[in-house]
Structure 1
Amino acid sequence: MKELTKLTKYLNRFETVIPQFEEKNLLVSKSSVGWQIDHSLKVINGIISQLKTSSNDKKPKSTLLGKFCLLTRYIPRGSGKAPKVVLPPEVIKLNDLLEQLELARLNIKDYPKINNKATFKHLYFGILNKTSTFKFLEVHTNHHLKIIDDILK
């Protein structure tokens, strides 16, 4: 599955930059590389966990913003605010990043087992079906990888 391949590739990229998790570039972001990784992994793990336990009774309905971002595969920088549940801790630890990365790998492998009627409600994008949710994860993760690349330039 295409989404699984992309997300797996993105996780492999996180693994290569984890040693630089403390790096910052205030011209790009007030957040560190570790913040970007931690946030992205929390999003992947949290959303897949929600998909696994979805009641499967919600009808998918994307917002205009959601449709635009998924169609263009682009999220404008600084356009959203992350919910508290996916915010990294004040102090980011290497072992925490590695553990979250391994959990994300396991969660991605579970994707085919998730009910096809599972949905995820996103604050800005609306109610997404299983396929759209994974597309969101791909777009969101790539968004943070681009920020990481800019921090490390």
Structure 2
Amino acid sequence: MPLLQKELSFLEKSFDNSDKLAASISSNNVSWHIDHCLKVITKVCSSLISSNASEYKWKFNKWRFVIFLKGSIPRGKAKSPKQVLPPENIKIKDLKIQLKEVKLLLKTVEQLPLKNYFNHHILGKLHLKKTIRFLEIHTNHHIKIIKDIVKN
């Protein structure tokens, strides 16, 4: 999980640019992308923790294959589920609280059986290691957007 930890550090450093917006890059500002990433990690980790490892069964999924092979998510191709959408007004103090919670959740996730899983609405069931890789890919997707917003 070192890559995910590095990405979380980047998100934390991006708090300083939270109000930046570049409409040509994204209709959302930096804080939206940070909040979204943290919400995704929280929801996914909670799902991993509550999953039953004995229920995991691998099944081929072409979208998972492509995204994991490329190691990236194409921009503007998917909509975020409602439960991971940020609120209209995002406060830095709330981002800090979420970040702290995410770090604690990740420590719990590290102790889980390898067959605990997250059921993604497009990618299907992802066992623990694939779930961590998904979180890395997803977070990096938003980090690239944040970097483009800030440099614009």
Band the TM-score falls in, shorter-chain normalisation: over 0.9
Deviation at 1:23, TM superposition (A): 0.9
Corresponding residue for 1:97?
A: 95
- Indicate conservation of the 8 Å contact 1:62/1:128, yes or no: no
Superposition map of 1:3-152 within 5 A: 4-56=1-53, 57-152=55-150
Q: Tell me the secondary structure at the aligned position of residue 115 of structure 1.
A: coil
- Indicate conservation of the 8 Å contact 1:117/1:130, yes or no: yes
The size of the alignment, in residue pairs, is: 150
TM-score, with normalisation over the residues of structure 1?
0.94
Q: What is the rounded CA distance, in whole Å, between the counterparts of 1:119 and 1:137 in structure 2?
A: 13
TM-score, with normalisation over the residues of structure 2?
0.95
- Indicate conservation of the 8 Å contact 1:52/1:115, yes or no: no
| Change in CA separation of 1:85 and 1:62 when aligned onto 2, cut-off 3 Å | farther
Q: Tell me the secondary structure at the aligned position of residue 19 of structure 2.
A: coil
Q: Which runs of 5+ in 2 are unaligned?
A: none
AA aligned opposite 2:124: G
- Structure 1 runs (4+) greater than 3 angstroms displaced: none
Q: Percent identity?
A: 40
Q: What is the rounded CA distance, in whole Å, between the counterparts of 1:115 and 1:79 in structure 2?
A: 32
Q: Tell me the secondary structure at the aligned position of residue 125 of structure 2.
A: strand
